[in-house]
Structure 1
């Protein structure tokens, strides 16, 4: 009798849990899973929007072959420079956010105001606002043209590296402006480290620099991984992303194939990050 009651109670808890996640599950299936599956299906077809409806002609891997091999410039002309730029932008955002979070964790007057200042741009800025700022040239550093630094960078650094570096500098303000979420995540992570650990380190004679490398940085490792994932996804879906700008509404089949190739590249990028962090965590153990 007792076992039946326990089984019944367990079933009730399962039903309650299913009811709680049902709204999310329905929304995921309707607004995420179905559009993803449908776009994947369109990538193998020529899609024609007609008055009588949508007509699809099966083409197999033709769109993928066209993008990767026949007309590779559509992807590689924009993808490779963007990846090189990302190699500079992502560490810049992570390091900047980490340092700002450590500073904002200190006790000083007006700390709450400064925290709000760093996060407000994330609330008020939309994709169109950021695009307009960059179009008007508001995201670059003014002294680059004033002191002719661009020509100096071009002459001193090889072309393959100077282009992404200049692209980073030309949108440096916007890059740092978009670091609000990372700052908040690092700030939350910093507060998970007990102050008693730092007090014990000071008693043992550790200076702030040693405390950072021995306590703060190891304790923030999970949050560095979290911010890396967020930054990669956010950067690869940025409004001014040159690869996304190639996705047009005139050829749905080919655009869907390009989107899925790009999606695969993002997954590979994230896979590399997970692989590196797993190796680092094993090395620490």
Structure 2
């Protein structure tokens, strides 16, 4: 029996295939909106497109990890017992950022309502739609695989910046649907990338403290959810998030709790645990 060859550049192959799968799905989402399909059809296809990284990883899995089970791999990412202190700290940080942005926007806004959601039913629907159209679909590939795989060669901090950059760039088609042009588009992209990379560093730190994929899923969910709740100028909202998450990321880098982002001895232990 011939042994299956292992993929030489698994992360590069993953990023490339993720984009190849995402682009036609993204175009399909656009077509559905243009031709006036029901909202639920748009939401379903939008959610499916967010899973492009998971689809790519599943397709490549046997070539990346020959002889291993994809299902078992995914289960391993959730096996560690969740630490209440880690979850609570992450949520409190994000809640504080949300309240600070809410305060800033409310003082500068002239709209009737500061919130985009007007009922509890819509709030619940928005929460779960965001969960399916982002965190659940993206974290297995980008965090569960790409981040951990890159940490075998680089410090978690360096790996976070690299994966954060490519994760942000994956959103490129979406940037050109915002309606922004010229300097506004440049500002949007700049703040978006700062926010994404900063959030990625925060995710990595908290994930490495607990080593359960639920952690980055929660952080990703509340990042998307909170920004979608506030009724304000999109560039301003992205800018505020970029600033606050960058401050948090820098503080975590400086503190480096339990050396989860860098430090030879502890980084080696983390990498061994991930293999």
TM normalised by structure 1 equals: 0.30
> Quick check: which one's strand share is greater?
1
Q: Which has the larger radius of gyration?
A: 1
TM normalised by structure 2 equals: 0.31
